[in-house]
Chains A and B, each alone.
Chain A
Amino acid sequence: MLKIKNLHASVADKSILRGINLEIKPGEVHAIMGPNGSGKSTLASVIAGKEDYEVTDGEIFFEGEDINEFAPEERAHKGVFLSFQYPVEIPGVSVTNFMKTAINETRKAKGLEDMPAKDMLKLIREKAELLEIDRKFLSRSLNEGFSGGEKKRNEIFQMAMLEPKLAILDETDSGLDIDALRIVANGVNKLKNKDNAVLLITHYQRLLDYIVPDYVHVLYKGKIVKSGTKELAHELEAKGYDWIKEEVNI
């Protein structure tokens, strides 16, 4: 589904990603861990198409197509979704109207008619229930005045609405208390099936107790320096990142 080859990216001439190789197949859950500043969020943003980053070398294939030149919205239409580490507050646009616009624009890109209002409302209700989101919440301005937990839950609600093929969850666990973490993880697990994939980006192993990865990768200085299974995450939790840094620096 996603194939990244020798990806190099920089922002304002500062090189951040230095040769990433990664392949994600349908049905898989991958986790990327690593110390601060290793390039985890950059990788997420580059896959989603943020224009601040310049891809200086390498390729990103999604469903066999080179998406490097694609606009963020085109990637979204193909089925890439990024759950933001810091969702942006947009006063004046309600959650509902935002979702309606996002869904209908995606349908338009696929040559489909707008979703009938009745179906839209039904879908919104269904997905809101999945994430235990109150109805009143949906008419509020997008992310405005939301708590950290509400913002993250709202991100997964959007994911549930858009049903992407590849969901990249950037630090979705940060700022969540244990109940919110359970709700969010439960939502992700319910949406997971054999045809879609999840890329988790996290500092901590905690999230991986709820959303169990098939593969764990360690990102350090812009490269994946170690890959393994979920046991690797436990090892990192117990031993920290220093031993990996030492291995790499040798």
Chain B
Amino acid sequence: MDLKEKLISSFWAFENHQDEDSYLHKIRTEAIKSFEDKGFPSKKEEAWKYTSLNSILKNDYSVFPKQENAIEYNDVKKYFIHDIDTYKIVFIDGKYSSHLSQTTHDGMDICLMSSALTKPKYRILIENYFNKIAQNDSLTSLNTAFSSEGAYIHIPKNKMVAKPIQIIHLSTGNESAIMLQPRNLIVVDENSHLQIIERHQSLTDNPVLTNSVTEIFVNKRAIVDYYKIQNDNTNASLIDNSYINQKQGSICSVHTFAFGGKLTRNNLNFYQQGERINSTLKGITIIGDKQHVDHNTLVHHTEPNCESHQDYKGVYGENSTGVFNGQILVDKKAQKTNAFQSNKNILISDKATINTKPQLEIFADDVKCSHGCTIGQLDESALFYLRSRGIPEKEAKALLMYAFSNNVLNSVQIPEIKNRINKIIANKLGVDIGFDL
């Protein structure tokens, strides 16, 4: 039985235990039909031309993990941003770990999707927001069909959430191969401010496939900063489908730090619905080996006077492959749009590949849109400059790659994240950054 058949039959086994009249039952059954029709995406589809899922779909994944697993915080502390106080929503093999988490219902809800989907007090919010912006492509549909657990966050209006929230998914390797489908819903009401850190981490070399869907609603004048740390083991793959809906005057930034995993696909979609909206999409990719990272972005401008900024940098070594596919849509009504996109890449091996494709569709006539992509090697004059000061070639190259990528960090709002990412970059590239004045 292939993975598609297994998922569909598992779905019906699971869903038949559910209340057939429920609002969610309808959404889930429609979603599984959508997945059944479409199947897993193949390279024949334009959006998947450079990313093949074949190699990761052949594992015999457990779809519903059997046992609950306990982990001591000290054993996994290094995967957390632990030098600041944060809320934590932690999952082990897809199941909530109350032991490692720190949630709240005090004036806001930072808790679990499983509660939100089943408890009556969340019903109105779920009906208003759940699955409203997630699309019905095959992988999102698959996640929707299986949606039962993940992070549920609702911040009421005029609230500055003092601590960032960490959403951490750990997999223990107790199953020989596991498929996880977390589903997150984040609603930030008017004038509120929220910071989120998300990380997926496998603790062994057993294969993990995560197909995650996150819907984020950034209401009027709200501010959301989202940081995705992707630095997983070489047998862990991640398909991250994020959908962000922004209302008038809101600001949202998503930083994606893609440093590892077998295959990583980021489908990051911004839908602007209102004026004076600011969207920022930034990414650093540093990979080697046979790793593959694909950034597939969409920014849809629908109203006048909005901005979007995209800045993605990549360093590709060994046999790694990268994809950047950045789509900007500007509707006829969206005059005075400022949309920028930049994708710069360095290939440090003859066998590394990057496919970069900007896609701008502009129907308004009074806009500023720019895009640029570069693929290159390191600057020779800079290399000579460093070497003339006694820095050997290898170290000089590493230092230049470090410099090339780390200026994406300027817009990171949490210093501890900036430090952590700086350290990961330095470590990846073999640079000793030591101390700063």
Contacts of B389 in A (CB 8 A): 76, 98, 102, 158, 162
Render A82-103 as a binary contact track against B, CB cut-off 8 A, 1 for contact.
1010011011111011101111
In the assembled complex, the CB of A72 is this many whole angstroms from the nearest CB of chain B, namely 4
Contacts of A94 in B (CB 8 A): 436-437
In the assembled complex, the CB of A111 is this many whole angstroms from the nearest CB of chain B, namely 14
Selected contact of B390 from candidates A92, A93, A105, A117, CB within 8 Å: A105
In the assembled complex, the CB of A100 is this many whole angstroms from the nearest CB of chain B, namely 6
Contacts of A71 in B (CB 8 A): 387, 392-393
B125 within 8 A of A: no
Q: Provided the pairs A76-B390, A109-B390 are in contact, do residues A92 and B402 lie with their beta carbons within 8 angstroms?
A: yes
In the assembled complex, the CB of B21 is this many whole angstroms from the nearest CB of chain A, namely 58
B433 touches A49 (CB 8 A): no
Residue of A nearest to B435 (CB): A117
In the assembled complex, the CB of B162 is this many whole angstroms from the nearest CB of chain A, namely 29
Render A136-165 as a binary contact track against B, CB cut-off 8 A, 1 for contact.
001101000000000000000010001000
A202 within 8 A of B: no
Selected contact of A135 from candidates B405, B406, B433, B437, CB within 8 Å: B437
B400 within 8 A of A: yes
Contacts of B382 in A (CB 8 A): 88, 90
In whole angstroms, how far apart are the Cα atoms of A234 and B391 in the complex? 39
A73 within 8 A of B: yes
Residue picked from B391, B400, B437, most chain A C-beta under 10 Å: B437
B385 within 8 A of A: yes
Q: Provided the pairs A88-B379, A88-B381, A91-B403 are in contact, do residues A96 and B388 lie with their beta carbons within 8 angstroms?
A: no
A63 within 8 A of B: no
The residues in B between 392 and 415 inclusive whose CB is less than 8 angstroms from any CB of A are 392-393, 395-396, 399-400, 402-407
In the assembled complex, the CB of A119 is this many whole angstroms from the nearest CB of chain B, namely 12
Contacts of B435 in A (CB 8 A): 100, 117
Contacts of A196 in B (CB 8 A): none
In whole angstroms, how far apart are the Cα atoms of A90 and B404 in the complex? 9
In the assembled complex, the CB of A97 is this many whole angstroms from the nearest CB of chain B, namely 6
B205 within 8 A of A: no
A97 touches B434 (CB 8 A): yes
A77 within 8 A of B: yes
In whole angstroms, how far apart are the Cα atoms of A96 and B436 in the complex? 7
Residue of A nearest to B389 (CB): A102
A121 within 8 A of B: yes
In whole angstroms, how far apart are the Cα atoms of A88 and B389 in the complex? 12
Contacts of A76 in B (CB 8 A): 387-390
B390 touches A97 (CB 8 A): no
A106 within 8 A of B: yes
In whole angstroms, how far apart are the Cα atoms of A90 and B400 in the complex? 8
B73 within 8 A of A: no
B122 within 8 A of A: no
B388 touches A92 (CB 8 A): no
In whole angstroms, how far apart are the Cα atoms of A41 and B413 in the complex? 45
Contacts of A100 in B (CB 8 A): 434-435
B387 touches A72 (CB 8 A): yes
Render A41-75 as a binary contact track against B, CB cut-off 8 A, 1 for contact.
00000001111100000000000000000011101
Q: Provided the pairs A73-B390, A77-B390, A88-B379 are in contact, do residues A93 and B403 lie with their beta carbons within 8 angstroms?
A: yes
Residue picked from A84, A100, A102, most chain B C-beta under 10 Å: A102
B14 within 8 A of A: no
A72 touches B434 (CB 8 A): no
In the assembled complex, the CB of B402 is this many whole angstroms from the nearest CB of chain A, namely 7
B393 touches A138 (CB 8 A): no
Contacts of A135 in B (CB 8 A): 437
Contacts of B387 in A (CB 8 A): 49, 71-73, 76
- B-to-A contact residues, CB < 8 Å: 379-382, 384-393, 395-396, 399-400, 402-407, 432-437
In the complex, 25 of the A-B residue pairs with CB atoms within 8 angstroms, ordered by the A residue number, are A49-B388, A71-B387, A71-B393, A73-B387, A73-B392, A73-B396, A84-B385, A84-B388, A87-B385, A88-B382, A90-B385, A90-B400, A91-B407, A94-B437, A97-B436, A98-B386, A100-B434, A101-B395, A102-B386, A102-B391, A105-B390, A105-B391, A117-B435, A141-B403, A162-B389
- A-to-B contact residues, CB < 8 Å: 48-52, 71-73, 75-77, 81-82, 84, 87-88, 90-94, 96-98, 100-106, 109, 117, 121, 124, 135, 138-139, 141, 158, 162
